[in-house]
Structure 1
Amino acid sequence: MKAFFLATILASGLAFPALAGEQFVDQTGFAVSGYDVVAYRDIEQAPVGTAQPAAIPGKADITAKYNGATFAFATTANRDRFLEDPAYYAPQYDGHCAYGVSKGGKVPGNPNLWRIVDGKLYLNITRNVVGFWEADIPGNIELAEDSWSRIEPDAASTRPIPGFKSPAPLGE
């Protein structure tokens, strides 16, 4: 009976999705530096090789928790959309730089250096890195997916985002 009980617990535990690794959170205290991850879906992307439009800052009083981090949103409607399917809206690789992950490491993702590919949000760390990432997006995603399975359990990056200035305080 004891063996059956343990087997049932293990089998049911495998039916639940595993949580991702630790989300990157910078000095703002928010995931994605306090930018609204749902709003990216409503911004028209720029063609590869050109700068993306600026991301939309969230507000400190419109938030939701996911994957151990607080996400901020520009509107309550966006927060509600997020809560319906947070894994869909959250950035890949727990908000770390997609190119950095493809190279085997966790470095911060800059919320203004973004791209949605096949319905997934990817961030990069610097404009130079965006050029490397965009030179072979499918190949870099393949490398990152392989690398992520090895580095996901590692602690989140604690490095600052180079050259990144957070928006005005999220409450203003």
Structure 2
Amino acid sequence: MKHFITILLISISSTLFAQSNSSERVKQYNLEQQLAIQGYDPVAYFTQSKATKGSPKINLSHLGVIYYFSSEANKKLFEANPQKYEPQYGGWCAYAMGSNAEKVEIDPKTFKILDGKLYLFYNAYWNNTLKSWNKDEKNLKIKADRNWLKFIN
């Protein structure tokens, strides 16, 4: 029951947040000049199971966040259902969000698809946080979901 309530609250908050002012949304996301995922194609994580650089020529702005795509087909998939493809926690490291509610940079090549959602992780200087996430995924995800609400509410 607790998990259902948490999921319900996250769903409601996410919907309200997506409808809120784009500039407020942009402030919380991991962006470089409004560009998400360092220019990687968010759809390719799902369709190709790998991180694929997008093209500046194939882009889309969604609620103030710019995404690059590796193909027109991927762009169309994103347009049809952006909530499916946007990275969780605004594109910040999922492990850091779960372990201590911090916004930590990511390596776009270090990711995981979990329950149909994209999670990104920090991976540098001999510290791959995806490995730590996998050791306690269930608890870290619950904490990360709760912690992200602090940023978007």
Report the equivalent of 2:39.
34
Instruction: Note if 1:116 corresponds to 2:123.
Output: no
RMSD: 2.0
Report the equivalent of 1:152.
152
Consecutive unaligned residues of structure 2, counting only runs of 5 or more, are 1-11, 19-24
Consecutive unaligned residues of structure 1, counting only runs of 5 or more, are 1-13, 45-53, 154-172
Report the equivalent of 2:48.
43
Does structure 1 retain, via aligned residues, the 8 Å contact 2:94–2:119?
A: yes
Does structure 1 retain, via aligned residues, the 8 Å contact 2:17–2:152?
A: no
Report the equivalent of 2:21.
none
- Displacement of 1:18 in angstroms is 1.7
Report the equivalent of 1:24.
30
Deviating 4+ runs (over 4 angstroms):
none
- SS of the counterpart of 2:103? coil
- SS of the counterpart of 1:123? strand
- SS of the counterpart of 1:65? strand
TM-score, normalising length: structure 1 = 0.68
TM-score, normalising length: structure 2 = 0.76
How many Å separate the matches in 2 of 1:24 and 1:67? 14
- SS of the counterpart of 1:62? strand
How many Å separate the matches in 2 of 1:113 and 1:67? 25
- Displacement of 1:131 in angstroms is 1.5
Higher helix share: 2
Identity of aligned residues (%): 32
- Displacement of 1:35 in angstroms is 0.5
How many Å separate the matches in 1 of 2:94 and 2:147? 10
- Displacement of 1:139 in angstroms is 1.4
Report the equivalent of 1:58.
54
More relative contact order, 1 or 2 (CA 8 Å, 6+ apart): 1
- SS of the counterpart of 1:19? helix
Alignment match of 1:73 (pick from 69, 72, 95): 69
Does structure 2 retain, via aligned residues, the 8 Å contact 1:105–1:151?
A: no
For residues 144 and 81 of structure 1, do their structure 2 counterparts lie closer, same or farther at Cα, with a shift above 3 Å needed? same
- Displacement of 1:40 in angstroms is 0.7
How many Å separate the matches in 1 of 2:72 and 2:106? 24
- 1:123 is matched by which residue type in structure 2? L
